Structure 1
């Protein structure tokens, strides 16, 4: 039996990158918005895979330039170079963020095509800091350079301070600076979210690192990804079209389809399902009145939840009616957020209840977060845009069962598609990936 190739990652350097010129005019502390105050201290892994546009030796990647431009980027994003004092405040002490440089003993194609590629992901990420709240860094980066010149940028993001759109703003600024596209630089806006959701001086609840969250009893978790190419998305949008929703979006069609098929999986396994619910993470920036700037930092997000009773689904068992019903519910839940999210009625109890709900585990509830068009697909450090966006370290904790993330995926032949990253119990995943109807639209990655 042939021995599997061992991917080795050699650390060349570790350092703390600090702002290049922290101005004295910056405040010494930074108070988080109401939403950020109530947000748990979860660290989110993100990996961006970049192929070399032309054959490049391992030493050809300009690591020094990446560090210099990162330092200059922190001048503008100065709170991210600080440390949490408590659940509400950042000390703007300019301590900087971890930056790790590595060399990998193979070509990037190995990491992209290995049947065990999800097990490799932790090798390409900086070690997470999960100790006391004051030791948590807002961001940490590991730059992995392959023999072919391909690069994986592994990142941990502290979700209490940043959401995915905020990270996209940061990475686009950094990459534009690194590749000398100075006309494309867009300044971050740290004030908009705070002005919309003013902080309270004494939060009633304490945040804690995810490691202290008691995991609920579950069987084996499995994470797998499935690709929806543009043709499949068009077909799903056609199936989801109804008189009430004549033009469903790609998100609505794909999210509705995944919801429908995970429900079918539970029924196939003999589970009792009296109702089904989908909990949707919603970016509030474009939905506020007036809208918040795209480059608003923090976590201006909320949870939209929709629920469908069993008898409604049984009344819509024709070929497309069930998907149409679920997409109607998704569309309605998203539309209702326009009335719901104003700074006047978004009070602490609402924030705490909704954001805690996003990490609780309840049977019958599926959760979805879309990272599509949040800026990650536009990041270009001079070696092209990412060919793969990965929202996991391959080891999801039990709190995130019944959860899926949608990311941008560029299909080589037909253009922009969507990749769905699902976290389910093992028996549910096995049933889903053996479902021929599901696989008629989704392909394994």
Structure 2
């Protein structure tokens, strides 16, 4: 299956941008973000209506997929999902790249997919979610609503002396798989952790710990010699800084902490959950209390340099990254024809886990990207499959 591109255009702003607002200065967090796109695909069933999207100032594509949406979502393959979003994986040069790219794909049944790719240099998932909901509100209310973004550059001004390397994706034969954890399996994972003395673990923490444990085991299984690994956990800063920033603060407001698995022996699930809990508690103490916004940006800059140096010294270490999109109101994005029946993303970077809510809100979908030989082991891990379903029907998912 391959969508047929019906039209392509660059839609200009409805009025000229004032000269004083023509250039947008990246914040220090934007400067340190990868030059990639965040590609999200929202799927909608047909409701018999004909409401056009409200689109301004973006690269806009229309396409047609000659199949029915329900069949497409039966067991969605990521090779096919990649065809529904136009965002290339790199956008290092913002002077030459589009900040936002939209592709609307119509299915034969009347359903549609909206693929939205936004540059990670200007936004994180919280910013993108807020933008999508504001855009959808404007479409439903015939343009009466307004975009309510609050830009963060004034809080975290750019640093002229930062040495930010260009992002170059590694040429690795990576494979992406989707695993779904329903509410009962999440409860079972929490019970397993608490039975070993971990108090009140979150659903994100238990899923992250299990994915990391199984990915670490897969890495060891295909390696000639055991290698230590670590997991970088991304954290939304909006509610951690003092005073807190609004949820609709626009830009990159995320940072990270890490946990690790040593070379000796198999790592225990409950130990990883405990590390994640301790990590977020330590993160709050280090970055969330008594620091001004300026001091926070300085600390983050220093942490990035120290982390890069440490990783180079360890050399042979395997690094995984986890980012959670849970609690982002993506399933509330209603352009006037109802809420999405499923949401996913494409171009998941190597050794990365992306967590997002199921449609019901009480489960978690995990997108896992690993090297092919690692994935061949990972997707057959018996412990993982006791708690997660591998790529179930997305149309019928809770």
* TM-score of the alignment, normalized to the shorter chain, above 0.5: yes
| Inter-partner Cα distance in structure 2 for 1:242 and 1:197 | 42
User: 1:125 pairs with 85, 97, 120, which one?
Assistant: 85
Q: Map of 1:259-278 to 2, 5 A cutoff?
A: 259-269=212-222, 272-273=225-226, 275-278=228-231
| Inter-partner Cα distance in structure 2 for 1:383 and 1:175 | 10
Distance 1:178 1:440, change over 3 A: same
- Counterpart position of 2:353: 404
- Counterpart position of 2:111: 150
- Counterpart position of 1:251: 204
Counterpart contact for 2:41–2:85, Cα < 8 Å: yes
Counterpart contact for 1:287–1:337, Cα < 8 Å: no
Distance 1:26 1:150, change over 3 A: farther
- CA-to-partner distance for each residue in 1:148-176, whole Å, 9 max, x for gaps? 22111112221011111110010000011
| Inter-partner Cα distance in structure 1 for 2:116 and 2:139 | 17
Q: CA RMSD in A?
A: 3.0
CA shift for structure 1 position 131: 7.8
- Counterpart position of 2:232: 279
Counterpart contact for 2:43–2:341, Cα < 8 Å: yes
Counterpart contact for 1:41–1:207, Cα < 8 Å: no
- CA-to-partner distance for each residue in 1:352-401, whole Å, 9 max, x for gaps? 438979x99964322101111122222111222222222214xx5xxx32
| 1:332 maps onto 2:269 in alignment | no
- Counterpart position of 2:192: 239
Distance 1:246 1:130, change over 3 A: closer
SS where residue 195 of structure 1 aligns? coil
Distance 1:270 1:125, change over 3 A: closer
Distance 1:104 1:345, change over 3 A: closer
Gap runs ≥5 in structure 2: 392-398
SS where residue 438 of structure 1 aligns? helix
| Inter-partner Cα distance in structure 1 for 2:247 and 2:153 | 14
Q: Map of 1:123-202 to 2, 5 A cutoff?
A: 123-126=83-86, 128=88, 130=91, 132-180=93-141, 187-190=148-151, 193-200=152-159, 202=160
- Counterpart position of 1:9: 3
| Aligned residue pairs, count | 381
User: 1:437 pairs with 380, 383, 386, which one?
Assistant: 383
| 1:215 maps onto 2:165 in alignment | no
| Inter-partner Cα distance in structure 1 for 2:376 and 2:224 | 15
Gap runs ≥5 in structure 1: 1-6, 72-95, 317-321
CA shift for structure 1 position 184: 8.1
| 1:416 maps onto 2:362 in alignment | yes
Counterpart contact for 1:38–1:351, Cα < 8 Å: no
SS where residue 234 of structure 2 aligns? strand
| 1:353 maps onto 2:302 in alignment | no
- CA-to-partner distance for each residue in 1:84-142, whole Å, 9 max, x for gaps? xxxxxxxxxxxx21111222222112321256x22212321226375854111111100
- Counterpart position of 1:388: 342
